[in-house]
Structure 1
Amino acid sequence: MTLPAGFVVELDRHTRVLDGGRALLGGHPTRLLRLTPRARRLLTGRTVTVRDAAGALLADRLLDTGMAHPVADALPPRPDPRYTVVVPVRDRPRQLDRLLATVGSGPPVIVVDDASRHPEAVAAVAARHGARLLALPVNTGPAGARNAGLRRVTTPYVVFVDSDVVLAPDTVPTLLAHFADPALAMAVPRITGLPGTAPTWIARYENARSSLDLGAHPAAVRPGTPVSWASTACTVARVDALKDGFDERMRVGEDVDLCWRLIEDGWRVRYEPRARAAHEHRARLGDWLLRKAVYGTGAHPLAERHPEFIAPAVFAPWGTAFVTVLLLQRRWSLPAAAAVAGVTALGIARKLDGTGHPHLLALRLTANGVAGALSQTSALLTRHWWPLTAVGCTVSRRLRRATLAAALADVALEYRHDRARLDPVRYGVARRLDDLAYGAGVWCSALKGRSLAALKPRVTR
């Protein structure tokens, strides 16, 4: 499959142009891409526009490595842009009415009633908006409800939208533009909090730090990268790529499973934050904690299906050595950690030989690696492994110091980054409750499945 003429990609914000355009440094994992003289001429500033086979080859390579992303408003039109909206719902007539009002009367809409307790209210809302109603006799969960709607879709594309989501007018058109890429199976927007629905401090925290919000920057969705999964609370997908759709045995994590299966099959999945969908987050503490724990229970089923993708942290060998010597907290720990980082930087500099300032670039890359290793270690201590951390803190002063430092540093860095409309104390409490609830769900699923696979970090080059 070849990218069409007129397809435009722009270099990722972290991709560096080196030596006057002779090489590019970036992607996930970070790599050095040396450009031929012909390829250099195809790069205009930080964009590549496909005009011939060479341009298509370069743009495709940049997309595969994560060095660049499509420019949605500059992409060629699709031959057949028709789509059907599928809305799984169980009760929630008020939210369904609000969503369907934003969908409009253009595309066909299938409302799948997943055995509501009050089906007449859902039926009335669907009829008022001219949507086709498909009522299921037994509750099957989100995966089964979406599949039931998918089987009745006759258009090339399907838009899955949860009933507690509100669409902006440009959400679906922006995502559809990405399907000019023939290798794209699914595109998802940024999920933000619904404006005017943050009456509690938990809701304000969730609006700033929702698990569904994948950030402000575009990304290829791939395991082991900063955007390693995508939610199907709102998504546009190519129908012929979905095959049998979601795994109906999964009540949670079914969206992550579908995303990873598509990637395993050679398809691309794209995250486009310029397209936005507003989600009505849970505002009550008990409901919010339960939802976070439920998210965690998807870890073991995902570990069974995708053992090569699931890991709470992914370390390079040198990163493992770096954090290990720091956690030991001996007199020689800081010098030893510095030595590990120094040797690593020298090794990276050798790989960058031939570029301008290879040692400076190597130091920057090593610093990024150090920050990533420390961040992941912090998450292990305070989120994924917190039951073990809690037990260990009762007997180890060093572990208590490391955990306290990790918890405080995490809150300080994330609070500054998120700009939550919440004071630092309540933000910090919510942050820790978020981690405790999610980690509890992960451990419950692991113990129920009698496997710790979802809790094992991965060390990889």
Structure 2
Amino acid sequence: MTVPAPGAGRLPDGFAVRLDPRTRRRDGGATLLGGSPLRLLRLAPRARTLLAGDRLAVRDAVSAQLAARLLDAGLAHPEPGPSPEPDVTVVVPVRDRPAALARLLAALAGDPATAALPVVVVDDGSAEPVASAGAARVVRHPVPRGPAAARNSGLAAATTAFVAFLDSDCVPRPGWLDALLPHLADPSLAAVAPRIVPLPGARRGWVSPYEDLASALDMGPRPAAVRPSSAVSYVPSAALLVRRAAVGSGFDEAMRVAEDVDLVWRLTAAGWRVRYEPAAEVAHEHPAALAEWLRRRAFYGTGAALLAQRHGAAVSPLVIAPETGLTWALLLAGGRPGRLAALGLLGATAVRLTRRLRRPGERAPVGLAAALTARGLVASGRSLAGTATRHHWPLSLVAAVVSRRARRGLGAVALADGLLTWWPRRGRIGPVRHTVARRLEDLAYGGGLWLGVLRARDVRALLPVRPPS
């Protein structure tokens, strides 16, 4: 069980935030556009004065409130400050990985920032018990209880204010902890995660070049607020720094998969902040064998139904407004009359948005409304294509079998998606390998998703939802 966030835990004086480079100022700085999901934030005159540049330092209650609003909207990110003394215990869950465990412990002991930290190794029922782990304390489960239970045992054994979870197949890079610790100056921060990167020198396989670039554990190069339905909706527990006072008893031990997503969503629902900080890096030994990689992707997919039972619509594969869905239906299946109707619907959507964005005494922001409408249509189109090839591919396959038009459309979408996602990665992987690996990944994840839905007898993980108003 997580703990509600402290209501009076304002950002301390000296804490600073800086606008995300993608945040756009409009109306002479009176309006900010950005974040994820995209939002428009109007600034009061006092706030506009405080945020004259791209940086805001907290000096009083008003600036603290503005900084918190910018953080929560995803419009700004914390600026690194001095690293506090690390009151941190490192918890390492492990099962049958003696060589990987030794490698991780050696890396911790060789890093001046972590050499003196207490380490708790939780042996989750290894066939060959972990007898000793250097200076680390060993807690043993006589029988395997799963990663959530292993982490909880380490959490219960820790006495420090913060706990850093590191899986045994990880190796943190120098400076990882120093990049995470400044975030803890925010008293409402429950957890912060580093970026997961490939482990140099690890075994390689056919899928390795793709996994290096598109690992499900890698949340990308940009810092972010972590919350459902955003660009970074979760962070993996393979490497995670948490505040013990926030996480309570920790992970849900009934979940053998997606327990990290569940923890993050419980924390944000309780009012805590969770951050992703890619300046900190932890290397991970990715699966190299194709069969092992596909099994793991399918296993991840089975967790969606468990999350739907606990968090409902937060796990939906598609967030789309009804009018946007109707627009795409008309564009794809309505012929020329349908396309004309879709354009009319888009125009009506832009007009409504113009009215919502217009401020008294100012010109109607027609251009902005049109741009946001077009942007929303493109984004929803990509989401629809993604669900067709990933979450709903069994339905797409049935449609392709019975309809030549659907077959051509599905093939075009699968190829276009592979090439569009390959293009930013060109030079590091070939288009054929990338596209084939992406399609295999989608088939494995989607298959696991449907298996989990059937087991749970709960279809909410497959259903679209409308965006919050």
Fold shared, TM-score > 0.5 on shorter chain: yes
The number of equivalent residue pairs is 453
**Which of 12, 15, 33 is the matching residue for 2:20?**
12
Q: Secondary structure at the match of 1:276?
A: strand
1:37-436 mapped onto 2 (5 Å cutoff): 37-71=45-79, 73=80, 75=81, 78=84, 81-104=86-109, 105-119=115-129, 122-124=130-132, 126-127=133-134, 130-197=135-202, 199-354=204-359, 358-419=365-426, 421-436=428-443
- Distance (whole Å) between structure 2 residues aligned to residue 296 and residue 177 of structure 1: 34
- Distance (whole Å) between structure 2 residues aligned to residue 64 and residue 406 of structure 1: 35
Deviation string for 1:331-371 (max 9, x for gaps)? Answer: 33333332222222222222222467822222221222112
Deviation string for 1:253-312 (max 9, x for gaps)? Answer: 000011111111111111111111111100000000000000001011111111131101
**Which of 441, 463, 469 is the matching residue for 1:456?**
463
Q: Secondary structure at the match of 1:309?
A: helix
- Distance (whole Å) between structure 1 residues aligned to residue 149 and residue 66 of structure 2: 40
Distance 1:366 1:111, change over 3 A: same
- Distance (whole Å) between structure 1 residues aligned to residue 430 and residue 62 of structure 2: 53
- Distance (whole Å) between structure 2 residues aligned to residue 37 and residue 408 of structure 1: 50
Judge conservation of contact 1:322–1:341 (CA < 8 Å) in 2.
Answer: yes
Q: Secondary structure at the match of 1:188?
A: strand
- Distance (whole Å) between structure 2 residues aligned to residue 70 and residue 58 of structure 1: 13
**Deviation (angstroms), 1:316:** 2.0
Q: Identity, % of aligned pairs?
A: 51
Judge conservation of contact 1:300–1:442 (CA < 8 Å) in 2.
Answer: yes
- Tell me the TM-score normalised to structure 1 length: 0.94
Write the letter of the residue equivalent to 1:36.
A
Judge conservation of contact 1:327–1:402 (CA < 8 Å) in 2.
Answer: no
Judge conservation of contact 2:83–2:181 (CA < 8 Å) in 1.
Answer: no
Distance 1:331 1:398, change over 3 A: farther
- Tell me the TM-score normalised to structure 2 length: 0.93
Deviation string for 1:196-237 (max 9, x for gaps)? Answer: 336323011001111111111111111111111111100000
Write the letter of the residue equivalent to 1:271.
Y
- Distance (whole Å) between structure 2 residues aligned to residue 154 and residue 434 of structure 1: 41
**Could you tell which deviates more after superposition, 357-366 or 438-447?**
357-366
Judge conservation of contact 1:85–1:161 (CA < 8 Å) in 2.
Answer: yes
- Distance (whole Å) between structure 2 residues aligned to residue 48 and residue 303 of structure 1: 38
Distance 1:192 1:340, change over 3 A: farther
CA-atom RMSD, angstroms?
Answer: 1.7
Q: Secondary structure at the match of 1:306?
A: helix
- Distance (whole Å) between structure 2 residues aligned to residue 430 and residue 29 of structure 1: 28
- Distance (whole Å) between structure 1 residues aligned to residue 102 and residue 465 of structure 2: 45
**Could you tell which deviates more after superposition, 417-426 or 50-59?**
417-426
Write the letter of the residue equivalent to 1:388.
L
**Deviation (angstroms), 1:401:** 2.6
**Deviation (angstroms), 1:440:** 0.3
Write the letter of the residue equivalent to 1:370.
L
Write the letter of the residue equivalent to 2:70.
L
- Distance (whole Å) between structure 1 residues aligned to residue 397 and residue 161 of structure 2: 51
Write the letter of the residue equivalent to 1:147.
N
Write the letter of the residue equivalent to 1:110.
V
Which blocks of at least 5 consecutive residues in structure 2 are unaligned? Answer: 1-8, 110-114
**Deviation (angstroms), 1:138:** 1.0
Q: Secondary structure at the match of 1:201?
A: coil
- Distance (whole Å) between structure 2 residues aligned to residue 404 and residue 334 of structure 1: 22
**Could you tell which deviates more after superposition, 174-183 or 31-40?**
31-40
Write the letter of the residue equivalent to 2:119.
V
Judge conservation of contact 2:162–2:244 (CA < 8 Å) in 1.
Answer: yes
- Distance (whole Å) between structure 2 residues aligned to residue 202 and residue 16 of structure 1: 38
Distance 1:196 1:322, change over 3 A: farther
Judge conservation of contact 2:95–2:125 (CA < 8 Å) in 1.
Answer: yes
Which blocks of at least 5 consecutive residues in structure 1 are unaligned? Answer: none
Judge conservation of contact 2:206–2:289 (CA < 8 Å) in 1.
Answer: no
Judge conservation of contact 2:146–2:256 (CA < 8 Å) in 1.
Answer: yes
Q: Secondary structure at the match of 1:293?
A: helix
Q: Secondary structure at the match of 1:13?
A: coil
2:112 counterpart residue number: none
Judge conservation of contact 2:83–2:178 (CA < 8 Å) in 1.
Answer: no
Q: Secondary structure at the match of 2:335?
A: coil
Distance 1:420 1:88, change over 3 A: farther
**Deviation (angstroms), 1:36:** 2.0
**Deviation (angstroms), 1:394:** 0.8
- Distance (whole Å) between structure 1 residues aligned to residue 167 and residue 444 of structure 2: 23
Distance 1:322 1:13, change over 3 A: farther
Write the letter of the residue equivalent to 2:381.
L
Judge conservation of contact 1:198–1:207 (CA < 8 Å) in 2.
Answer: no
